Amino acid sequence: MTVGTEISWWKSLQKKDMLEMALVLSKHALPVWNDFHLYSEIKHELKLLPEKSLKEIETFLENNSQEQKLNEHFTSFITPVIHIQDGYLKFPYEVKLAFLSVFHILHGMVSTTNMVATKEAFSASIKKSIDAIKIAGILTADEISLLIHKYYLLSIAE
């Protein structure tokens, strides 16, 4: 098994397992975002957005809470993502990846009618989280492998 993003073995996972793997990895990548000091022009809500969204995703998965809240969180990401893509918001690469990893989980969760789009969004989240974690030095490649080993075993069993 390789943790490199060039081999996307996780695409063979079931949607539920991809979502779980993306959530685990995004939570590990979150310190990259949280430790970055946003400059004063950026609102406080943007700083808290990924963490609040991950908590809402966990609540949704544990309690099947309202899907409307997930849509609200997804909508909250749209403007910052556009600003990141057009260069208006400039962040170090790994910081941007950590932020976008959460956005892609939400995107996959609100894309309920299109299974391909859902799995692609979860896959994008996984790739971005792994890259953010590796670039920032949060975990080594071996530690990442241990973290995702369960999902790798599921991928080869299916």
Q: How many domains does the chain have?
A: 1
Q: Is the pLDDT of residue 158 over 70?
A: no
Share of the chain above pLDDT 90, in %: 65
Q: Which letter does DSSP use for residue 14 in this model?
A: -
4 in any annotated domain: no
Domain carrying residue 63: 15-36+43-148
- Quickly list DSSP for 52-111: HHHHHHHHHHHH---HHHHHHHHHHHHHHHHHHHTTSS---HHHHHHHHHHHHHHHHHH-
pLDDT at 88: 87
The residues, any chain, with a CB within 8 Å of residue 82's CB and separated by 6 or more, are none
2 in any annotated domain: no
Of residues 112 and 16, more confidence is placed in: 16
3 in any annotated domain: no
* Residue 66 to residue 71: CA distance in whole angstroms: 9
pLDDT at 41: 53
55 in any annotated domain: yes
Q: Using 50, 70 and 90 to split pLDDT, how confident is the model at 124?
A: very high
What's the half-sphere exposure (Cβ side, CA atoms, 13 Å) at 76? Answer: 20
Share of the chain above pLDDT 70, in %: 90
158 in any annotated domain: no
pLDDT tens by residue, 125-137: 999 999 999 999 9
